[in-house]
Amino acid sequence: MNNSKPEIRAQHDFLIKRMSKDEKIKMPHLALFAGLVICWTQEGQTDTFSITRKILMSFSKISSIATYHKCIKELDQLGYIIYQPSFHPRKGSLVTWGNRNK
């Protein structure tokens, strides 16, 4: 089930406001979040969308694989996204926008 665009915008606004107050969020997290928005837009703005590390690192200008993994894991743990990793080299991992209740 796809959310309407106004609902998604409201959810993004909520997540961004929450991030701005979260001391754990640093610049790489914000860059990764921006990259996720780009991927989500390219995937047709569906509830759950596919990402690849290579593309997301390029969009977010993160050059370290360790930083990428740390930030995506933290965004998931903090509730900004729901991350379902794929360990298949050609299949993308799945991301859903986080829960407003966290």
Per-residue model confidence as pLDDT tens digits over 30-80:
999 999 999 999 998 888 999 999 999 999 999 999 999 999 999 999 999
Domain ranges of the chain: 5-97
Q: Which residue has the higher pLDDT, 59 or 87?
A: 59
Domain 5-97 belongs to what topology? Arc Repressor Mutant, subunit A (1.10.10)
CB 98 within 8 A of CB 84: no
**Tokens representing 69?**
């993994």
pLDDT of 47: 86
